[in-house]
Amino acid sequence: MKYAHGFLMSCACFGLGVVELTAEEGGKLQAIEQSVEKKAAKKKKPSHHHSIGHHHHGHTVGEVVAEAMVYAVLDGLTLQQRPFTSYPYRIDAVTFREDEWYSNEDFQSVANPMNVRVWLDYGSADEDINRLGAGVLVAFQNGFEIEWEYNSFSEQRSKVDARLDFSSFNLLYSVSFDEVEPYIGLGVLSMVGEEVSDIGGQFTAGIRVFPQKPLVTEFQFRKAAFVPAEDEVGDRVDITRVRATVGGIWNHIEGYLGYDYLEVGSIDLSGPLVGLRAWF
């Protein structure tokens, strides 16, 4: 309960408000960097680590996520059981999530303590901006999931050669209803450019649907914010992301297509994506 309380209190810090950014002649990625750089110049004390929601409950998002991750791993390795679908959490004769469909005389159902997914995808925001993404997700039988995700944007156009990297650690909790699996969680997001870096908090909500072998679909919403700490002043930069994918699994490898809607302030970095994901 104390972890759930920490999650809810941390989520309360994500109010409304967006910094208006403009893509000047320098390009979209440089416009984002300039916004964060102007915010940093206004600070009373230079710092790249922002205490999101610190004044609410005495914990930063990073502290809450770190504590909850330790709990999730320790509790997840105890092999606590709950009803899950066997597809797509299946490796040959060994299942990660068991149900009656897979309990038969031909196979011996053995519960694994965790499931690991690794993915790599590519997207394009426009003809000048490309995105390379990668990630790892470790899911435990108690419903907790630990995720690391990395996205690198590169922009090349006349007089512009810029790069902006986003990296996040997230703690998620999922619930299984046959072929439907909703999840929710919190995390820490970092943004690193050529001249600026910043750290903020991130909220995640999504749903996975496994309608029929070999199909896998996922819809995900994320809201992040780079907010000055209590002893700092400056503007807030919000990030909104909506990602939808449809894929198929063959021999533990999923190929998927989708669309990634991403707004950093008022700068649009949205575009289609294609990727591969391995299920272990």
Confidence of residue 30 (pLDDT cuts 50, 70, 90): confident
Domain residues for the domain of 190 are 2-279
Domain count of the fold of the chain: 1
9-18, 85-94, 168-177: least confidently modelled range: 9-18
How high is the pLDDT of residue 31?
A: 81
- Domain CATH code at residue 105: 2.40.128
One-letter-per-residue 3-state SS of the chain: CHHHHHHHHHHCCCCCCCCCCCCCCCCHHHHHHHHHHHHHHCCCCCCCCCCCCHHHHCCCHHHHHHHHHHHHHHHHCCCCCCCCCCCCCEECCEECCCCHHHCCCCCCCCECCEEEEEEEEEEEEECCEEEEEEEEEEEECCCEEEEEEEEEEEEEECCEEEEEEEEEEEEEEECCECCEEEEEEEEEEEEEECCCEEEEEEEEEEEEECCCCCEEEEEEEEEEEECCCCCCCCCCEEEEEEEEEEEEEECCEEEEEEEEEEEECCEECCEEEEEEEEEC
How high is the pLDDT of residue 221?
A: 98
**For 142-192, how does the pLDDT look when each residue is reduced to its tens digit (9 = 90+)?**
889 999 999 999 998 777 788 999 999 999 999 888 789 999 999 999 999
**For 209-220, how does the pLDDT look when each residue is reduced to its tens digit (9 = 90+)?**
998 888 999 999
